[in-house]
A and B are shown apart, each in its own frame.
Chain A
Amino acid sequence: MVAFIIRRLIGMVFVLFGVSVLVYIIFILIPGGDPAERMAGKNPLPQNITNIRHQWGFDRPFYVQYVKLMEKAGTGLLPGKHSQYSILRSFDTRQDVAAEIKKGIPATLSLCVGAAMIWLFFGILVGVVSAVKAGRLSDRLITILALVGVSMPVFFLGIVLRYFLAEKPTNPPFPDGEYVPFSVSPTQWAYHLILPWFCLSVLFIGFYGRVLRSNMLDTMSEDYVRTARAKGLAPRQILLRHVLRNSLIPIVTLFGLDFAAVIGGGAILTETVFDLKGVGWYAAQSVGSLDLPPIMGVTLYGAFFIVVFSALVDFVYAFLDPRIRPT
């Protein structure tokens, strides 16, 4: 077990290094050109451009820029006061990227945790119902709904929900946008988040439902299920104890990955549509003005989070299921 953890941690360090290099390539090498010229504004003095270039370090060799960039990303996370050029800052607004991301975390976390619970519960429910009633009308109906859910762009669903349920001029059944902190009012917090929760989880409900349905149908034809049936177990017991338990393994894997992806910035469209001022919303605001550092910060921290989180998930698995340890 210890050897497995050490091996996995070494692998993780390599992936993190790869991620940081890829982020550097995407944001510094691909755009090419000189950010200083864009930052200096219209008709700048040549001296201005030179100053900006020097202060932000755009005139250094690329490996120095890479190390500096990672240093900046790291120091931004540390508490305390930092000098102006030692942390990641937006080119446009010159705001501290890490601080802005930290501000968005409560909203993103509330959205993701709530939605994850909803999609896990309803995904399993939908999967079980459609597997038990396979071939019947309700199964067809659920399959169709799942297909529509998978085919619906999240942002379009969000806009439609907001338009019909939250933006009516008279007495809308749901409040429109705006995140209310949990500490201010738990009921208002939940009330304001119902539509975003629903919107984010619909796609996953459909997807999980379909995966679970096919897994359960496969498991039901296994020999040990027939044995359980032959020895006279109640159908409900067979379903819950034998079939569902084994069919849930891939769902748990999927859930770990999806949850990490959603927290690491995957909820960007939902947050944008509902004006939830979370981490993804912050990145989306910078897309329009092509301001790269905020997007870079969110991508970098998001990817780091996913890598670390998936390593943790692997440890939990290795603890629960000894068979996967050697891999």
Chain B
Amino acid sequence: MVEPGATDLTLDSAPYLAVDEHEVAIIGRSPWYLAWRRLRRNYVALASLGVFLLIVVCCSLAPVYAHHVAHSGPNDVHAGEHVRVSGKLRSVVGGGAVYDPKTNTFDVKPVIYLAPTWWHANGRFVLGTDKLGHDEAVRLLYGGLNSLKIGIGSAFLCTFFALVLALLAGHFGGWVDWVISRFFDLIWAFPVFLLAIAIGTALQVNGFHHFGINIVPGSLWIPTLVISYVLIPYVGRPIRGQILSLREKEFIEAAVGQGAGPLRVMFSELLPNVASTVLVLFTLIIANNIITEAGLSFLGAGVRPPSPSWGNLIASGQDQIQTAPWLCLAPGLAIVLTVLSLNVFGDGLRDALDPRAKVRLEH
């Protein structure tokens, strides 16, 4: 260790002085490490992250569950079949018009759907069945898989495009900023959800076949792209504002003075400084996208049957809520749990990354 002289004290000599005076070493800690240390103490946020990851893992295991436990695909129809529940034989969809060969008449009874069997039927129909005799638990998991794919996928796309646009607008200013801001204004002028429905429905008619992109109607890409498109200004605007104020800081001037080009300034000077905001917005926007997707699919402008998603499971269960309430309640509770865990984690993440930050998604 080089002992620095008393005359040349610099910032670099601080650790040596600390060792000399107090016999403790100063360890350099990055802001990310400090944030992680704050987050580590926030048990509620960590638990929510755990819940969300658990949901993701469960939904990704949907094919395994369908094949090995429930022995039924998401679109397999079991109406008319029978299943053994706690040793008793029960029909999957019972009641309705039953032919009685003795009297040669039809006996009409109310239709009864198999209620949740939990584990009394060896893993079959754990959450009961719907009017076609689908295994609701399998559909719930596959639906969750679709909803999560759309939610996370559109959050990635939306954050990526919003970030690029915000960097361009904030860094170049002038007419680039004018064009991008007017683009944000234009989307902002519509009610978000209505715009999503409009684009979603228009795309469902014939799909999208322009610019060499081919998307067929009913594809999961439709809701993913629609949601990411309509939410771009909601992510882009706060980031653009931050970049505008960062651009005036001295370190940008220093980088430009060293000869850094626009790309280098944008990606290695500005980007790391908005990274924490982007991360928080990303978490919150996944939650928002899952809700938006559910709403779109509920109305029929998102994921269209027969592909399940939490939104259209609720829509199809709505008619039978009197006789089979579980069809609505199970996917609904799944949405609430997922979105709640993401929101709580997002709040915790924001507190950890920058306690003074006021990043939030505006509706």
Q: Do A and B make up one complex?
A: yes
Residue contact A292 to B201, C-beta cutoff 8 Å: yes
A203 contacts across to B, CB distance below 8 A: 363
Q: How many residues of A contact B (CB 8 A)?
A: 60
State the Cβ distance, A310 to closest chain B Cβ, in Å: 8
Please give the distance in Å from B68's CB to the nearest CB on chain A.
Answer: 31
Nearest B-chain residue to A279, judged by Cβ? B194
Q: How far is it, in angstroms, between the C-alpha of A150 and the C-alpha of B342 when the chains are bound?
A: 11
**Is B163 an interface residue, CB under 8 A from the partner?**
no
Q: Given A167-B321, A266-B191, check contact A159 B198 (CB 8 Å).
A: no
- Whether A205 is near chain B, meaning CB under 8 Å from some CB there, is no
Binds A, one of B97-105, B166-174, B182-190, B273-281: B182-190
The interface residues of chain A, by DSSP majority, are classed as helix
Name the interface residues of A278-313: CB closer than 8 Å to any CB of B: 280, 283-284, 286-288, 290, 292, 295-296, 298-299, 302-303, 306-307, 310
The number of residue pairs between A and B whose CB atoms lie closer than 8 Å in the complex comes to 156
Roughly how many angstroms separate A264 CA and B340 CA in the complex, as a whole number? 28
Q: Are A269 and B299 touching (Cβ within 8 A)?
A: yes
A33: nearest chain-B partner, CB-CB = B206
The reply to whether B195 and A299 contact each other, CB–CB distance below 8 Å, is yes
A19-B189, A33-B205, A153-B294 given; A148·B301 CB < 8 A: no
Q: Is the CB of A207 within 8 A of B363?
A: yes
Which residues on B sit within 8 Å (CB–CB) of A74?
A: none
Q: Mark A137-176, 1 if CB is under 8 A from B, else 0.
A: 0000000000110111111100110010001010000000
| Structural contact, B340 and A147, CB atoms closer than 8 A | yes
Query: What is the CB-to-nearest-CB distance from B269 to chain A, in angstroms, rounded to a whole number?
Result: 28
* Residue pair B202, A27 in contact (C-beta under 8 Å): yes
* C-alpha gap A269/B301 in the complex (Å): 12
| Complex alpha-carbon distance, A266 and B195, angstroms | 10
How many angstroms between the C-alpha atoms of A270 and B265 in the bound complex?
Answer: 47
Within 8 A of A (CB), among B335-360: 335-336, 339-340, 343-344, 347, 358, 360
Q: Does A272 contact B (CB under 8 A)?
A: yes
Query: What's the minimum C-beta distance from A8 to chain B, rounded to whole angstroms?
Result: 13
Chain B contact residue count (CB 8 A cutoff): 50
A254 in the interface (beta carbon within 8 A): yes
Partner of B358, one of A29, A147, A153, A214: A214
Mark contacts of B284-314 with chain A using CB atoms, 8 A cut-off: 1 yes-contact digit, 0 otherwise: 0001000100110011110000000001001
In contact, B321 and A32 (Cβ under 8 angstroms): no
B194 and A268 contacting across the interface, CB-CB below 8 Å: yes
**Contact A283–B318 (Cβ < 8 Å):** no
Contact in complex: B300, A32 (CB < 8 Å): no
Whether A15 pairs with B336 at a CB distance below 8 angstroms is: no
Nearest-Cβ distance from residue B50 to partner chain A, whole angstroms? 17
| Alpha-carbon distance A75/B204, docked complex (angstroms) | 29
Interface status of B203 (Cβ within 8 A of chain A): yes
Assuming the contacts A159-B318, A298-B194, asked whether A272 and B339 have C-beta atoms less than 8 A apart, the reply is no
Provided the pairs A31-B202, A153-B294, A307-B189 are in contact, do residues A283 and B322 lie with their beta carbons within 8 angstroms? Answer: no
Q: Determine if A156 and B335 form an interchain contact, defined as CB atoms under 8 angstroms apart.
A: yes
Q: How far is the CA of A292 from the CA of B311 in the complex (A)?
A: 22
The distance from the CB of A156 to the nearest CB of chain B, in whole angstroms, is 4
* Chain A neighbourhood of B336, CB < 8 A: 148, 151-153, 156
B33 is an interface residue with CB less than 8 A from chain A: no
State the CA gap A14–B192 with chains docked (Å). 20
**Which of B185, B208, B301 makes the CB contact (< 8 A) with A30?**
B208
Chain B residues whose C-beta falls within 8 Å of the C-beta of A310 in the assembled complex: 189
For residue B123, CB closer than 8 A to chain A, the reply is no
Q: Once the chains bind, are B190 and A19 in contact (CB under 8 Å)? A: yes
- With contacts A32-B210, A287-B300, A296-B198 taken as known, whether A261 is within 8 angstroms of B332 at the C-beta atoms is no
Q: A33-B206, A163-B328, A290-B201 are in contact. List 19 more A-B contacts (CB 8 A).
A: A18-B182, A27-B202, A147-B340, A148-B336, A155-B314, A156-B314, A156-B328, A156-B336, A207-B363, A214-B358, A266-B191, A266-B193, A268-B194, A272-B299, A287-B197, A295-B198, A299-B194, A299-B198, A302-B191
A to B CB contacts below 8 Å, 15 in the list? A29-B210, A30-B203, A148-B336, A153-B311, A155-B295, A156-B294, A156-B328, A156-B332, A159-B321, A265-B191, A269-B295, A295-B197, A299-B197, A306-B190, A307-B189
For the complex of A and B, 4 pairs with smallest distance between CB atoms: A156-B332, A265-B194, A151-B340, A151-B339
Mark A residues whose CB is within 8 Å of B: 14-15, 18-19, 22-23, 26-27, 29-33, 38, 147-148, 150-156, 159-160, 163, 167, 169, 203-204, 207, 211, 214, 254, 258, 261-262, 264-266, 268-269, 272, 280, 283-284, 286-288, 290, 292, 295-296, 298-299, 302-303, 306-307, 310
